[in-house]
Chains A and B, each alone.
Chain A
Amino acid sequence: MTPEPFLRLRGGRKRFGGVLALDGVDFDLGPGEVHGVVGENGAGKSTLMKLLAGAYSDYDGELSVGGEPRRFASPADAQAAGIGMVYQELTAFSHLTVAENIFGRHPPTRRGFVSWRATNRIAGQHLSELGLDIDVTSRMGSLPVGTQQLVEIARVIFSGARWIILDEPTSALSPPETKRLFHFMTTLKAQGRGLVFISHFLDDVLEISDRVTVLKNSRRVATLAAGEADKHRLVALMIGADSSSLNLSYESSPTSSAGARGAAAVAVAESAPEVLRVERLSKRGAFTDISLSLGQGEVLGCFAFMGAGQTTLGRCLFGADRADAGTVVLGGSVLRLTSTTRARAAGIAFVPEDRRSALMMSKQIFKNITVAHLARILPWWLREPRELAIADTQMKSVGVRPHDPHLPVGALSGGNQQKVVLAKWLTETPRVLILNEPTRGMDVGAKEEVLGVVRRLRAQGVAIFLISTEPETVLSLADRALVMRKGRFTAELAGAALTKANLMKTA
């Protein structure tokens, strides 16, 4: 044991060009501790974690590991000092086995050749020491996301990590998977390892962390012991003084608002003409016998945990994947969804769960906004002023910041990228809008703005099918909600029954 077994940063300051991304931040992590880090997008969470993990060498401040001042030249340097990093986007080799992933570049050898027997044996031993029961010969890509994450953590521990930084580890996990992860983290704590837990999910942070640090505008505003922190307080610290208006849709009691929503839902169901009807839609390996009806100006929620088949359902409704059986009726006539072009022509719009499959990141914002409409807004040749005028209107209406249609979309923050994805579908108001995870991974402010856009579209009479794994998103938007579990609808909730508890219970 070193005399001072801490990972500690004093006065961490990091500048990108003229902008301070981290402004004098103190941070420490003790053995057997889970230290949560929360903050809005752009608050400095990623910069802090990258600094700890050795991604930068040009920063001010002092970093010490076990009492010894260090300045890492590279992530490899940090790794050698026992700091491991697990990224939100899994970086595993999905074609290789669990054992190969654990060993990485240095599998055990016998006379210069890889010894598979030793690879599997040692990897298996390592996992069981960590209390994990995973077949080391299975291919990484065939495992559920949650399990891959556990393997990733086991991998950085295997390579010697004592201090482990977890970036949004729960965002892709279902509650049981999250539970498993937390159980694993508790085991690691007991072994005297320190964990940094960076997340947007305040409930998760509060559940597992011993201390929570709140960052805001590149500064540390508070470090609280778990006992003195609650969700409300964290939100207040994250967004500053006036939090009551911003988090209304998250904090308001579900029953009271659901009552009002229930009345509205009944009204919609009775008066609004049906726009989309799906009858017994099935796709092998994804979903079975899906039927639903969606009215004009209605938001129909579809709540499910990760991997319940909801993503494929959304894609099938846009023609991006093809269902094996069933019918889709749009505005009274049967629609053969054989291609996205057809769905698009019928007035269906689609926002996929992953912004990278919705945007051309290296292309300018205005091109991304007009790309779905070129045939309708332009003759066969291009007229950039017309495109810019359209993009300008749409960017204003969703509030893209900075307001510069010539910037490549990739230069925007995640929340603003998502606004561009929505702006893309506003040029011609669609009849049906399919949203998959429209607000995932966004900070509170951007989330509210995106929700506002969706509400406005509902007011314009767009029929909206909202798929989400976040109960809050469904609750704050949907008039009714279908709950999907393992490819089937298990419940339809409306009115007073539409509560977080009911969503979680039936999914």
Chain B
Amino acid sequence: MERDESGQTAPSETSASRPATAARFADWVRRQARNLAPLATLVLMVTFFAVTTDSFLNLVNLRNILAQVATLAVVATGVTFVLLCGEIDLSIAAVAMMTGVITSVLFGVVGLPQPIAIAGGLAAASIFGLVNALATMHIGLPSFVATLASMQIASGLAQYITRGNILYVIPPSLKYLGGAYIGARDPWRLPVVVLAGAATLALGHVVLRYTRFGRLVYMTGSNREAARLSGINTRRIVGTCLTICAASAGAAGMLNTGRLGSAQSYGLDDMLLDGVSAVVLGGTSLFGGEGGIKNTIIGLLIFGVLNNGLNQLQLDIFVRLWLRGVILLVALVVNVYALRARGAARTRA
């Protein structure tokens, strides 16, 4: 405990005499390191693609980028909650597919009215979240293992229900949310799904930053034992986050059916890796307590710009796949280094 005793604390103890504003400014800069590195990555990528391609930097394409990450934004919101707790959810893609299928079955096969079918889909997704929460917080399985199992179950259920078939009857409101546009002419014709994604992110941001619950998520993620020893019901906080994540995965799955105009038990496998890496690229810590929706937004944009830009480059599809992986890796490495620098700065303070 005495690590922070003499040498290192000497400066901070005397900082009482230093103006508090200076300390606060230094603190602000350190906090921003988490945000600045991803932002720099984003600016770098935009600049690169703007220079190397003709088709990248125009309003229609930029709008397309937003449309391409909109569904991902919904699930990334939920993933942000889970990562802030220092947990992980590997079942998101499977739960998304399963929810799309269940909603379509409830609507098209069972014949329930739209709102009930949609509510039923969300309930099914939330049940998976609750099961994840129970397995993680009460039984004590690592979330990595618990959600790996739910991933299997959810994806298996989706296949069991559809028997490999594609369901074409889906609620019209989902078609609207996932596939319709508002506004008259290009570039101002905005896909509704972009608004849905933005609204989810905004909601997530408000919950995390401006509510008591959000504060407790950050505090629990920062030091779960300390939160527990402050009388906080950490099981409930983390469990709620896992449930929020599963529900957001369900919502993303439904939006995806709406976008495609059909529901099936396959085709969303990328969502897991994409969702988690978008959040991490934004600078949210995998160990909890640091980051947030603002970071996730930047991460989503990095992700969208990278995918879209690589397409514009008209590279060989087989080059694109591995190149994307390499670039993601580099961006993550840059992130980790930026965070380490921040950590070092804090220790010196």
Contacts and interface: CB of A to CB of B under 8 A. Distances in A.
Interface in B192-243: 209-216, 218-219, 222-223, 225-233
Contacts of B346: 362, 408, 410-411
A44 B2 contact: no
Interface string B337-349: 0000000001011
Nearest to B12: A411
Contacts of A318: 229
A220 B211 CA distance: 51
A89 interface: yes
**A: contact size bracket:** 35 or more
B7, B20, B212, B348: residue with the most chain A Cβ atoms closer than 10 Å: B7
A46 B228 CA distance: 32
Contacts of A464: none
Contacts of B5: 41-42, 45-46, 413-414, 441
A424 B211 CA distance: 20
Contacts of B1: 88-89, 354-356, 414, 440-441
Contacts of A21: 6-7, 10-11
Given A19-B11, A363-B219, A414 B2 contact: yes
Given A401-B13, A412-B12, A380 B3 contact: no
Contact of A16 (B8, B23, B289): B8
A88 B228 CA distance: 26
**B: contact size bracket:** 35 or more
B4 A414 contact: yes
A330 interface: no
B231 A404 contact: no
Contacts of B23: 402, 404, 407
A166 interface: no
B230 A424 contact: yes
Contact of A380 (B24, B211, B229): B211
B314 interface: no
Given A363-B218, A408-B346, A382 B27 contact: no
A350 interface: yes
Nearest to B211: A381
What secondary structure prevails in chain A residues at the interface with B? loop
A357 B210 contact: no
Given A375-B212, A414-B1, A14 B7 contact: yes
A9 interface: no
Nearest to B6: A46
A183 interface: no
Contacts of B211: 380-382
A50 B7 contact: yes
Contact of A371 (B2, B10, B219): B219
A318 B20 CA distance: 37
A168, A360, A382: residue with the most chain B Cβ atoms closer than 10 Å: A360
Contacts of B210: 381-382
Given A320-B229, A341-B232, A362-B290, A46 B3 contact: yes
A402 B15 contact: yes
A41 B233 contact: no
Contact of B6 (A42, A350, A375): A42
Interface of A: 14, 16-22, 39, 41-48, 50, 87-89, 167-168, 218, 318, 320, 339-341, 343-345, 350, 352, 354-363, 367, 371-372, 374-375, 378-382, 401-404, 406-408, 410-414, 416-417, 424, 440-441
17 contacts: A16-B10, A19-B11, A21-B10, A44-B10, A46-B7, A47-B7, A87-B3, A89-B3, A218-B10, A318-B229, A341-B232, A344-B230, A358-B229, A362-B289, A363-B219, A382-B211, A403-B16
- 7 nearest interchain CB pairs? A344-B231, A47-B7, A402-B16, A360-B222, A46-B6, A413-B9, A372-B230
